[in-house]
Structures are given as C-alpha cells and as structure tokens.
Structure 1
Amino acid sequence: MNTLRMNPLWVFAIALSLAACGAEAPAQEASGAPIEEAFTDGELAIPIMGEEVRILAFGDSLFAGYNLPEADGYPEKLEAALRARGTNVRVIDAGVSGDTSQAGRDRLAFVLEGQSEKPDLFILELGGNDLLRGISPEQTRTNFDAMLATLAEADVPVLIMGMRSPPNYGPEYQADFDAIYGDMAEKFGTALIGFWLEDIYEQPQLFQSDRIHPTAEGIEALVSSTIDDVAAALPQDEG
C-alpha cells in the first residue's frame, strides 16, 4: 500500500512544507465586510448591534490566507460572517506563513503589545509546521504552555484551533502530539476546536494545488463549520 497516496493527513503534512518559508508580517485588521454587505435587496437583514469586540487571529499560513486575495482569508471571512449575524466585530489577522509554535511564542508579546486595545478573544492556530519539521511534541507542548500562560496573565480569553498528527510518525508521536490541544485547553480553561480542518480535509476540491491550503471555497466551509464555536467563545454581555 502506498501510504502517502492513501492517507490524506499525510498528504496534508507533506504539502505544508511548501509554505514553511514565509516571512513575518505585521498583524493587520481584517478588511471585513462593510455594513452594506449585511443588506439583502436593499434592506438590512440583521442589524449590527452592541459594542465592538476584537478578535486576534494568531497562526500560520492557514490564517495568513496563503495564495488568496486578502479578503478571502479566514480572519476576513470570519469577520464578515459574524457581522452578517449582527455581531459588531473586528478580526485582526496575525497569521504568518511558516510559523512554528516556537516562532509564535517568540512574537506573541510583540503582537499583544502592538494592539491598541486588549483583544476580547485570541484564536490560537499553530502546530502544523511543528509536524512538518519533526519537532518533538514535548517542545510543541512547552511552547503552547508558555503562550497560554502569557495570555492568561494578560487576562485574554482564548480559543485553540487544534491540529492532528498523521499516523506516519508512529503511534507514540501521534498520541503525544494530538493530546497537546486538549490538555492545554483543560489546563488553562480555554475553548477548543479539536481539529479545526475536520470538515474539509478529506475534500481535495476545497484545497489549492499544493493540497494543503484551502481555496476560497474551502475557507468559506471552514468559517461555516467553526463560526458557532467562535461566537460561543466571545464574551457575553451580562444584563
């Protein structure tokens, strides 16, 4: 059996190397959908209400919108979808192609300090490039622990976007890596999506030719499958 051909997660991991050389870029606010986009046939479908909430989307090329127009990235599409639901939200795109958990750890304080306001929610999406480079799960765990400790100290709520190891690394590596996300969510009391690509990773038509980065349609599907989790993780008004 040709494992590389038969296992979509392994194809996913191998292709991820094609994006592992991205350079860091400053975090930018998602362009978002203007209020006019919430109109249907000239009428406002759902009014955008409440104080603005800010989401900081912190990750790798899967957040950076590799090879897509800026407006088609996950943070941008997430913002538009939440605003279409009536949520007054801004999503800051802090995705950097090629980032490992160590790179994320190294730039986390800088990114947080660069925000004009404390984020209402921090979405943490890293780990794929750790798999690519064969970084030990122990080191990945240490980096996540440090990042989440920093965020807890800053009193910033977190939603972790989990990844999953392909079985080709062996059952011990796979078990150790896959356990990181749930363990960290439990330790720090964060929200968690166990494997945030779950709904598309076996649909090759939703990926670009590199077989790792979602197409614009793939991003739309990811937003659709994760928006409820994101909305649930946002601070709720009391009273």
Structure 2
Amino acid sequence: MRKAVIGIVLGLAGTAQADEVVIAALGDSLTQGYGLPADQGFVPQLQRWLDAQGAEAHLINAGVSGDTTAGGLARVDWTLTPEVDAMIVTLGGNDLLRGLIPAQARENLQGILKAADRSEVDVLLVGMEAPGNYGPDYKAQFDVIYPELAAEFGSLYLESFFAGLRDGGVLPDPVTLRPYFQTDGIHPNAEGVSRIVEGIGPKVLELIARTED
C-alpha cells in the first residue's frame, strides 16, 4: 500500500498518523462545505463519523467550490500525492447546472479514474442524477455515466451524494427536504450534511477496507 509518513498536502491536509488510510475527497462546493462553519462541512462531519466507527482514516478536503468535472481532472494529479491511499470523487453537479454535454463529463471523469489507476489509488465514485428539465435524452446519457465508469474501472459506487436524504431509496418531495438545505436550495445545511454522511459513510468504510486488502 502506498503510504508516506506524517505530512501536509498542499495546505489542505492536517497531520496524519503513519498507520492511517489517507483519503482525498475530490469534489465541488458540496465537498468543500460551502456556506457552513468550517467544522460542519462534509469532510469534517465525515471525519468525525469515521472516527466514531473506529476507522483509522484521515480525510483531505480537496473540494473546490464551482468546480466541474473538467476542473477536477485538471487538478487530480497534484491531489494524488504519494501519501494518498484512496479517493472519493464527487463531481458533476456544476456540469449539470451549466448544461454541459454529458460526453464531456464522461471523458473528464474517465480521466480522473485513469489517474487514480496510475497512482494505484482506490476510488469511491459518487454519482449525480440529471434533472428532467434538460429532456429525457440528456438525462439518460448523463445518469449512466457513473455506474458505467465504476464498472469499467472496478471502483466502488454510490448512486447519489444525496442518498442519505432518501426515504426507502426514493428521494422525497423537495418541499419535505427544505429543512436540510440552505436558503439557496442547492447546498445542504449542517443537519443535511449529517444525513448525507450517514448515507455515504458505510461506502467509505468499504473503501478503507479495500485499501487494507
């Protein structure tokens, strides 16, 4: 397993113990923790959840607000520093907001997964689902990107960043989800992040176990 000793990763990482699995969370504002106190964002809350499970893991917040899949591809190589053992990839939301061509998102995500392969880094790929307002063809093309790439590269896969907000596998009516979002209706508040972490946490434990095999 590729692991360095204690280090700082481009100012984003804190001190990691030598026996910890180091995980880079590559994403956009949802990962970065937009609009929230520093300790209530996705990465800090997920770190506390993992600590409570007894997982020996250290998370690096590699989320950049506004980033597209192209932005993630542009910085993946310097995100995958030698001490990184695994990576959570949560990108695509800004591609959707801008109505970018699904084929471009696929190519960018494929490039990210190829970089992870080159660095021998295990990946959890978190999916995104296109809204219906772009039409059924766009939605069909976009939604299959993530499961198909996960199968192609043998990555772990979670169907949606918002899986923890689902009720019995179904996303509730948006009105009922308002208490879990900030006023922009896009970014989760601290309570929403807590539920999101509950949904993604078990997959991250699988990711950690995979790095230890």
Specify if TM > 0.5: yes
The answer as to 2:162 corresponding to 1:188 is no
| Alpha-carbon distance in structure 2 between the residues aligned to 1:27 and 1:148 | 24
Match of 1:158 in 2: 123
Runs of 4+ in structure 1 off by over 2 angstroms are 29-32, 198-202, 235-238
Q: 1:60 aligns with which of 28, 31, 35?
A: 28
CA contact (8 A) 2:164 2:197 kept: no
Partner of 2:13: 29
Is 1:210 aligned to residue 184 of structure 2? Answer: yes
Q: Is the 8 Å Cα contact of residues 159 and 230 (structure 1) preserved in structure 2? A: yes
Aligned to 2:136: 171
* Residues 101 and 144 in structure 1, CA contact (< 8 A), matched pair in contact too: yes
For residues 11-50 of structure 1, give each alpha carbon's deviation from its aligned partner in whole angstroms, at most 9, with x where no partner exists. Answer: xxxxxxxxxxxxxxx6612699xxxxxxxxxxxxxxxx99
For the residues of structure 2 that align with 1:145 and 1:225, how far apart are their CA atoms?
Answer: 24
Distance 1:164 1:27 in 2: 32
Q: State which of 78, 81, 84 in structure 1 corresponds to 2:52.
A: 84
Distance change >3 Å, CA 198–CA 50, structure 1 → 2: same
1:95 aligns with 2:79: no
Partner AA of 1:155 in structure 2: E
| Equivalences, count | 194
| Alignment gaps of 5+ in structure 1 | 1-25, 33-48
> Which residue of 113, 119, 122 corresponds with 2:87?
122
Q: Following the alignment from structure 1 to structure 2, what is the Cα–Cα distance between the partners of residues 235 and 208?
A: 34
| SS of alignment partner, residue 19 of structure 2 | strand
Q: Deviations over 1:154-179 (max 9, x none)?
A: 11000011110001100000000000
TM-score under structure 1 normalisation? 0.76
Percent identity over the alignment is 38
SS in 1 for 2:196: helix
Structure 2 alignment gaps of length 5 or more: 1-9, 166-170
2:162 match = 197
Does residue 222 (structure 1) correspond to residue 196 (structure 2)? The answer is yes
Q: Greater CA radius of gyration, 1 or 2? A: 1
Distance of 2:11 and 2:157 partners within structure 1: 23
TM-score by length of 2: 0.85
What is the alpha-carbon root mean square deviation over aligned residues?
2.0
Q: Distance in 2 between matches of 1:51 and 1:192?
A: 25
Counterpart CA distance in 2 for 1:80 and 1:158 is 20
CA contact (8 A) 1:193 1:229 kept: yes
Distance 1:83 1:173, change over 3 A: same
